[in-house]
Structures are given as structure tokens and as C-alpha cells.
Amino acid sequence: MRLGVNIDHVATVREARKTYEPSPVFAALLAQRAGADQITLHLREDRRHIQDRDLELIKELVILPVNLEMAPVEEMKRIALRVRPDRITLVPEKREEITTEGGLDVVSMREYLKDFLKEFKESGIEVSLFIEADRKQIEASKEVGADAIEIHTGRYANLWNEHRFAEAKEELERIREGAYYAKDLGLRVYAGHGLTYQNVRDILELEDCIEELNIGHSVVANAVILGMEQAVAKMLRILRRGE
């Protein structure tokens, strides 16, 4: 499977102090150097982490495909059509949520999305919809003109993390069935949300129907830990030897 690295939470750390570091742009370049297949970022309406300039710089400097997660609203549409990411992924968005909760209800937004997506299709920007592995949502995604879907793996991840492995296996089977159904309809199939070094292993069983995973929080969280020793050592060298 391809790996899309979501660098949102590098910006979360930066915005905690409203300063200039750590840089999500630099993080994207490091992910590229490490072999990532794609950079994913979510420009939220409240700008809680990624800022407009981050998106612009990443699109300018990163040679990997850029996947912009965004709410299906006119402001984001204007930005996306100006910056022209390689892909947009429409996600549900609530101001009060900590992270994206569940998939987009494409069924209830069918007519709105048909019109909303026209300019993206005309501009050659790939359109993906972040949805649950539900047949009605998958069918509606095809109907409104999506090129792909990204299946929400949050429930599976939470069950696995809580050691409710039997239920996690059932959810994994639901994801499998949805992925195959979407593939049969001619949609490309991606997945993501809540995946970690540990719970992602079972998802790899679905490599024949899911071609890409987008993973962010776990990668950034582990980068903080795995890189801490080097960061402290560098500061000590500066303090003690004037590096």
C-alpha cells in the first residue's frame, strides 16, 4: 500500500504557541525524503493547525502528490482551485470536534455535491470522499462523481486499541466488503484514521482492495519521541561547545 503522511499535528504543536516552529513544510520535506508516497494535510475552516501559507508552500516545494482534506464549503473550494492540489478529500467538519468524527454523509448531500464537484472535475483535480464503509454512501459517492473514496478506519482503530479484538475483526470485515464493493463500482479505494504501528498490521490484509493509507497522528507522535534524544543532544552541543 502507498503511504500518505498527514502532517497536520506538526502544525498543531506550532499553533500551541503561535510561533514559527516546528514547520509542517519542513516535516513534509522530511517525509518525502523518508520515502512517503504523498503528503496529506487538512486546512480547517477555523485554521486550528494548518494555515493557508503552509498549503501554498507545500504545493510549491514538495514534489510528491499533495492531498488536501477540506470541508465541502465555498471558501475551501476557492482555495483549492487556486492552489491546485493533486487531490481533494472532502471530510465532515465540526468546529467543536477534536479530530474528524466519522465519514461524510454523501447520501444526504447528493445534489449539493454533484454541483460542488463540477469545477474540480473540469480542473483535473482528483476527488475523494471520506466515508464509512457503507454501501449507500459508496453508491452515492459514485453518483456524485467522485474518483475515489477514503474509508474511515476510526472505529476499527478504537476497537483494536481497546483490545476488543473480536469486534475489531468484524469492523475490518465490514471495511473489506465496502472496499471491494467500491472497487467493483470503479472507484479507487483509500483508507485512514486512527491507524498506528500496531493496529495497521491487520489492515494490510486488505492490500488487494485498498491501495493507500493516510496516517498522521501516530507518525507525528512517534516522531516527537524517536527524535527527542537527537534534539536534546543538539541543544547540549550548542550550550557546551558553542556549536
Three-state secondary structure call for residue 190: strand
- Please indicate whether residue 123 or residue 229 has the higher confidence score (pLDDT): 123
Choose the catalytic residue: 9, 49, 69, 212: 69
Instruction: Check pLDDT > 80 for residue 98.
Output: no
pLDDT of residue 25: 97
Instruction: Check pLDDT > 90 for residue 125.
Output: yes
pLDDT category of residue 51 using cuts at 50, 70 and 90: very high
pLDDT of residue 121: 94
Of the ranges 103-112, 155-164, 188-197, 220-229, which one carries the lowest mean pLDDT score? 220-229
Three-state secondary structure call for residue 141: helix
Q: What's the mean pLDDT in 126-141?
A: 98
pLDDT of residue 96: 61
Q: What's the mean pLDDT in 141-154?
A: 98
pLDDT per residue over 156-200, tens digit each?
Answer: 999 999 999 999 999 999 999 999 999 999 999 999 999 999 999
Beta bridge partners of 190: 150, 212
Mean pLDDT of the chain: 94
The Cα 241–Cα 4 span in angstroms is 39
pLDDT category of residue 222 using cuts at 50, 70 and 90: very high
pLDDT of residue 241: 77
pLDDT of residue 179: 98
| CA distances (Å), origin 211, targets 1, 104, 189, 205 | 5, 20, 6, 11
The Cα 175–Cα 103 span in angstroms is 13
Of the ranges 88-92, 176-180, 188-192, 236-240, which one carries the lowest mean pLDDT score? 236-240
Domain 2-241 CATH (choose: 3.10.450.30, 3.20.20.70, 3.30.70.141, 3.40.50.1000): 3.20.20.70
49 a catalytic residue: no
The residue ranges of every structural domain in the chain are 2-241
pLDDT of residue 102: 82
Q: Find where cell 473480536 sits.
A: 166
pLDDT of residue 99: 60
42 a catalytic residue: yes
217 a catalytic residue: no
pLDDT of residue 35: 93
Query: What percentage of the chain reaches a pLDDT higher than 90?
Result: 88
Instruction: Check pLDDT > 60 for residue 72.
Output: yes
- Please indicate whether residue 234 or residue 101 has the higher confidence score (pLDDT): 234
* Phi and psi, residue 137, nearest 5°: -70, -35
Choose the catalytic residue: 9, 49, 152, 193: 193
Choose the catalytic residue: 42, 132, 152, 171: 42
| CA distances (Å), origin 118, targets 106, 125, 127 | 15, 10, 10
Instruction: Check pLDDT > 80 for residue 124.
Output: yes
Instruction: Check pLDDT > 80 for residue 63.
Output: yes
